[in-house]
């Protein structure tokens, strides 16, 4: 934590679950401060939930402090807690410039808060779900929820597990969630159990199932652990129980409840709850809590607004997506408005700066009232967000940089400075078209596209090996959970099939998951693409002599790129995994994404790569090889189009893909236009020649 004269307050937000009670707590801090500070007039005050904890004295002789320990009264803790640090420093007894570089201090990240916690017996009530398996108050750390799936589970049982896991992943949201699969109940903690029949899980006493059932039972090895059972007399009834869980259970309570399959309305494309609406402007106040749009102090933190959407956006000449912003800031009596500004970025990519002394009027009619009766306290402006910056999980970032006026020596500077983004500011996707060239694995890694085009994954089929092992099933659940968390909706429309059932899902987008030697569907679905499966190995056909020429004028890779990809596949070892994307050979325009590992452990590592923001950013092209933590993407084949732009945009799309195409069209156009002129000139010359030639010659 870095403190300055104009940034004197920082804190840490953390939560405790409902069944945790703090009985003792100790804060241990260390850090440093400026050597110019006056010890008797400088300190850092510590509070927990506005209750005083202690003062940290700043000794300029050492320029460092700590470790210092403070005991905290357990009664001061709540379910959600804020630990605050406020810096007060002076380098002169009277006149201090808050912008001076002599005013600084910091709290080291080696500081710790140690809690002694007693756990209360869990309250097992279906009405309290997702508690106690997941508690929203715990703000940090990913959810790890084991899933018990019998070895003989079929497609419906695996689908039920995916629906339930995706529902918990949506609850966990930004924290992340993983679902390790086991055949038996874990020795400690909570778990999700898939049970088709009362004897589905050996050693676990289950209630008698009279139909689709949700039940909470104690972990037989851990009195503090809770098992959420999705049960039924058949896997079809288990899937109905999972759908009931995902739909909200309809007020079901108690430890055991028989449920019925809900009637779920069909989804529309691109209507994911966590995505920007595709058909109207989205108000920023509907995307984040309005309190998060406030800024305090001269250098406040960044205001972050999620810009989640499918990445298949297209605008004419890439004008971008308009973000119409309205903001409030102090006037020239409190700030140097000529030097103060609002910076607008998208995921750390700079877009525009707005000076706080004036704004840009947004035309036309939707702000006509602002022209007729302008509010001097509200400024406005428009920032265009290029579509090439929107891959699915971006943020609109707004940073106020407010500079105090130079008021001379010994003149106070206003301390309570505030600014805000108006909640009625908008981001508008409604004028963009939907068009993309696939395969594009960066679209899949960033937004799960094209599978997440339908938020409930209807139109998507997961192809798993028959009787998947625990690592393959865990990779499947983690992947579906990640897709669901992105869109904010459980995967209630997902279909699960085994390789013999491919023809039943021929018209859907296919997500193939498995170990290379255990997934026969990979050879079938990749047969028409450049990457093929032969004898449990991946191969690429060698480029021919015309590959580089075709790459100039057509949407195809050159020989160098194909050779690099072929060399990478020839070195596959046991720890290597691959992502392959291609057009489905079963139905044109549909997509296949294959997640394959040389071993089950390598497949799990591939899922971890996709869930890591730094690694997933390197996922590109239609083939990705993950080897020892190194992620390399390749382009190996031609692309195909998905989307519905108007016909008059198609020439722009086609020409924009390659400068050689533009050059070729210009040359062809020049030839086509030049030939008639050439013919006219030749004809005119022939007529003149005949006119000058005497008769008889």
Quick check: 473 and 181 in contact, CB under 8 A?
yes
pLDDT score at 151: 92
The domain defined by 126-258 carries CATH number 3.40.50.300: no
Query: Three-state SS for 301?
Result: coil
Whether the per-residue pLDDT at 508 is higher than 80: the answer is yes
pLDDT of residue 546: 56
State pLDDT tens for residues 126-139. 999 999 999 988 88
E strands present in 120-252: 143-144, 147-148, 177-178, 181-182, 191-196, 213-219, 222-232
Residue 583 has pLDDT above 60, yes or no: yes
Q: How confident is the model at residue 639 (pLDDT cuts 50, 70, 90)?
A: confident
CB atoms < 10 A from the CB of 669, how many? Answer: 10
Residues in the chain: 697
Two structure tokens written together for 523: 């050879």
Please compute, for residue 637, the number of CA atoms within 13 A of its CA located in the half-sphere on the CB side: 22
Return the pLDDT at 570.
78
Mean pLDDT of the chain: 87
pLDDT value at residue 689: 62
Reported as a single tens digit per residue, the pLDDT across 369-400 is: 444 434 447 889 999 999 989 988 899 999 99
Q: Homologous superfamily of 2-119 in CATH?
A: Galactose-binding domain-like (2.60.120.260)
**Homologous superfamily (CATH) for 281-405+414-432:** Galactose-binding domain-like (2.60.120.260)
Band of pLDDT at residue 662, cut at 50, 70 and 90: very low
Give residue for tokens 């037989």. Answer: 220
Task: Return d(Cα 131, Cα 260) in angstroms, integer.
Answer: 22
Q: Which residue has the tokens 């992943």?
A: 169
CA pair distance 642, 310, nearest whole angstrom: 13
Q: How many Å apart are CA 594 and CA 495, to the nearest integer?
A: 16
- The answer, yes or no, to whether residue 658 has pLDDT greater than 50, is no
The CATH number of the structural domain formed by 440-638 is 3.30.379.10
Q: What is the pLDDT of residue 664?
A: 47
Q: Per-residue confidence at 464, pLDDT binned at 50, 70, 90?
A: very high
| 203: confidence class by pLDDT, cuts 50, 70, 90 | confident
Structure tokens at 473: 């099933």
Of 521, 528, 666, the closest CA to residue 584 belongs to 528
Q: Is 54 helix (H, G, I), strand (E, B) or coil?
A: strand
What residues contact 357, with CB distance under 8 A and at least 6 apart? 332, 337, 338, 340
Q: What's the token pair of residue 140?
A: 């940090």
C-alpha closest to that of 149 among 197, 204, 194:
194
pLDDT tens profile 129-181 = 999 999 988 887 899 999 999 999 999 999 999 999 999 999 999 899 999 99
For residue 181, what pLDDT is reported? 97
Cα three-residue angle 497-500-506, rounded to 5 degrees: 65
Sheet arrangement for strand 341-346: 303-308, 393-401, 341-346, 349-355
| pTM for this model (two decimals) | 0.87
Question: What is the pLDDT at residue 372?
Answer: 41
pLDDT tens digits for range 244-303: 999 986 568 899 999 998 889 999 999 999 999 999 999 999 999 999 999 988 778 899
CB 466 within 8 A of CB 513: no
More confident site: 650 or 47: 47
């Amino acid at each position: 934590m870095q403190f300055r004269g104009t940034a004197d307050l920082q804190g840490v937000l953390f939560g405790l679950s409902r069944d945790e009670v703090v009985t003792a707590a100790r804060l241990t801090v260390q850090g440093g401060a400026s050597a110019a500070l006056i010890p008797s007039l400088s300190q850092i005050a510590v509070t927990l939930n506005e209750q005083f904890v202690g003062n940290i004295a700043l000794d300029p002789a050492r320029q460092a402090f700590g470790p210092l320990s403070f005991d905290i009264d357990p009664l001061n803790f709540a379910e959600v807690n804020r630990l605050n640090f406020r810096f007060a420093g002076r380098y002169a007894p009277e006149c201090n410039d808050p912008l001076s570089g002599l005013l600084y201090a910091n709290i080291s990240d080696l500081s710790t808060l140690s809690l002694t916690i007693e756990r209360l017996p869990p309250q097992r009530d279906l009405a309290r779900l997702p508690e106690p398996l997941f508690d929203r108050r715990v703000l940090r750390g990913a959810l790890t929820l084991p899933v018990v799936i019998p070895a003989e589970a079929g497609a419906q049982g695996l689908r039920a597990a995916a629906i339930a896991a995706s529902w918990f992943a949506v609850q966990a949201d930004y924290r992340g969630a993983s679902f390790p699969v086991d055949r038996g109940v874990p020795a400690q903690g909570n778990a999700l159990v898939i049970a088709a029949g009362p004897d589905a899980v050996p050693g676990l006493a289950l209630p008698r199932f009279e139909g689709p059932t949700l039940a909470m039972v104690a972990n037989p090895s851990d009195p503090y652990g809770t098992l959420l059972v999705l049960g039924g007399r058949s896997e079809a009834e288990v899937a109905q129980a999972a759908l009931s869980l995902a739909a909200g259970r309809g007020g079901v309570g108690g430890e055991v409840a028989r449920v019925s399959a809900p009637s779920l309305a069909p989804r529309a494309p691109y209507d994911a709850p966590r995505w920007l609406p595709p058909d109207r402007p989205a108000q920023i106040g509907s995307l984040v809590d309005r309190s998060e749009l406030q800024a305090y102090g001269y250098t406040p933190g960044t205001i972050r607004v999620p810009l989640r959407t499918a990445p298949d956006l297209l605008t004419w000449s890439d004008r971008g997506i308009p973000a119409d912003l309205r903001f409030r800031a102090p006037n020239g009596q409190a700030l140097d408005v000529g030097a103060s500004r609002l910076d607008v970025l998208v995921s750390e990519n700079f877009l525009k700066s707005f000076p706080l002394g004036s704004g840009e009027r947004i035309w036309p009619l939707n702000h006509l009232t602002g022209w007729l009766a302008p509010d001097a306290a509200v400024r406005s402006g428009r920032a265009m967000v290029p579509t090439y910056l929107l891959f699915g999980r971006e943020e609109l970032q707004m940073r106020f940089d407010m500079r105090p006026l130079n008021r001379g020596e010994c003149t106070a500077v206003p301390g309570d400075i505030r600014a805000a983004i108006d909640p009625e500011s908008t981001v508008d996707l409604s004028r963009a078209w939907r068009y993309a060239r696939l395969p594009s694995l960066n679209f899949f890694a960033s937004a799960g596209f094209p599978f997440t085009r339908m938020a409930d994954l209807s139109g998507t089929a997961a192809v798993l090996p028959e009787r998947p092992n625990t690592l393959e099933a865990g990779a499947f659940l983690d992947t579906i959970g990640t897709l669901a968390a992105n869109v904010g909706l459980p995967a209630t429309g997902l279909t699960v099939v085994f390789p013999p059932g491919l023809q039943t899902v021929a018209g859907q987008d296919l997500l193939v998951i498995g170990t290379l030697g255990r997934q026969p569907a990979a050879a079938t679905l990749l047969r028409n693409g450049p990457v093929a499966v032969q004898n449990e190995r991946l191969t690429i056909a060698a480029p021919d002599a015309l590959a580089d020429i075709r790459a100039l004028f057509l949407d195809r890779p050159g020989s160098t790129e194909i050779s690099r990809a072929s060399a990478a596949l020839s070195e596959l070892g046991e720890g290597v995994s691959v992502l392959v994307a291609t057009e489905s050979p079963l139905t044109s325009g549909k997509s296949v994404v294959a997640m394959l590992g040389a071993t089950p452990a390598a497949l799990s590592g591939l899922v971890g790569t996709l869930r890591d923001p730094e690694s997933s950013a390197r996922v590109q092209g239609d083939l990705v090889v993950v080897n020892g933590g190194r992620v390399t993407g390749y382009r190996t084949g031609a692309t195909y189009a998905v989307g519905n732009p108007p016909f008059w945009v198609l020439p722009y799309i086609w020409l924009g893909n390659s400068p050689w195409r533009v050059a070729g069209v210009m040359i062809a156009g020049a030839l086509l236009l030049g030939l008639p002129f050439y013919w006219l000139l030749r004809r005119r010359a022939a007529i003149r020649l005949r006119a000058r030639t005497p008769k008889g010659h």
